[in-house]
């Protein structure tokens, strides 16, 4: 009796499949980017594909906290701003899908953000009217479809579209010269005050 129970447990354990889960991280790893009003900022990425499928990335989106592109509740690459999209008139533009990005089975792809070459996950444009000190917090989503074979040649879809996400934030900072100018003005006022006191 004990042997049959052990055999049953052994068979059950051997039938349990270990599920592979791709991993997505942003560059920088903490997801924090900084820029002045009118600047383009964005994120690079590292995607580790531990599956036997190719992963073909067909969308990315910046979503405010609570937004999810699968639920159509955040700004996609060509949608208007929603409650869960970028702050005010700021906009997000997808790069990862526009570049026909895919990750081969059991491999890792890393790509840095470059607004000129349009590489990385995507670009967040800080509108010139966005106030300094604004902090836009959310998640960066990437959506992919698994493919049996190379998706750009003869591969065929091998499952439903899935999404991965990572926390991100955009901080709007003053222009670098502003700090120098303010420090200079404070030093001048202090010197004038000392001169008057003397």
Domain boundaries, the chain: 19-197
Residue 20 and residue 50 in contact, taking contact as beta carbons nearer than 8 Å: yes
Give the CATH fold of the 19-197 domain: Immunoglobulin-like (2.60.40)
Helix (H, G, I), strand (E, B) or coil at 115: coil
Q: What is the mean pLDDT of residues 68-83?
A: 63
Pairing, β 107-111 against β 32-35: unpaired
The whole-number pLDDT of residue 42 equals 97
Q: Going by C-beta distance under 8 Å and a sequence separation of 6 or more, which residues neighbour residue 94?
A: 59, 60, 61, 76, 77, 121, 122
Give residue 14's pLDDT band: very low, low, confident or very high (50, 70, 90): very low
Give residue 67's pLDDT band: very low, low, confident or very high (50, 70, 90): confident
**Residue 93 in tokens:** 């533009």
pTM: 0.76
Q: What is the mean pLDDT of residues 149-156?
A: 94
Of residues 13 and 1, more confidence is placed in: 1
Task: Give the separation between CA 91 and CA 81, rounded to whole angstroms.
Answer: 8
Around Cβ 134, how many Cβ atoms within 10 Å? 16
The whole-number pLDDT of residue 178 equals 45
């Amino acid at each position: 009796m004990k042997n049959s129970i052990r055999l049953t447990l052994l068979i059950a354990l051997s039938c349990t499949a270990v599920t592979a889960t791709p991993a997505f991280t942003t560059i920088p790893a903490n997801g924090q980017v900084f820029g002045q009003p009118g600047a383009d900022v964005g994120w690079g990425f590292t995607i580790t594909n531990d599956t036997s499928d190719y992963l073909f990335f067909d969308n990315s989106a910046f979503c405010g906290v609570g937004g999810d592109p699968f639920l159509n509740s955040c700004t996609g690459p060509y949608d208007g701003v929603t409650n869960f999209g970028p702050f005010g008139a700021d906009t997000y533009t997808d790069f990862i899908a526009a570049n026909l990005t895919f990750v081969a089975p059991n491999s890792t792809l890393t790509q840095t953000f470059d607004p000129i070459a349009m590489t990385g996950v995507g670009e967040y444009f800080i509108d010139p009217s966005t106030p300094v000190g604004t902090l836009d917090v959310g998640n960066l989503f990437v959506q992919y479809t698994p493919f049996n074979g190379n998706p750009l040649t003869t591969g065929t879809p091998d499952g439903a579209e899935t999404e991965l996400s990572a926390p991100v934030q955009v901080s709007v900072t003053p222009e670098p010269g502003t700090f120098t100018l303010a420090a200079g003005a404070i030093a001048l006022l202090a010197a004038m005050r000392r001169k008057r006191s003397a």
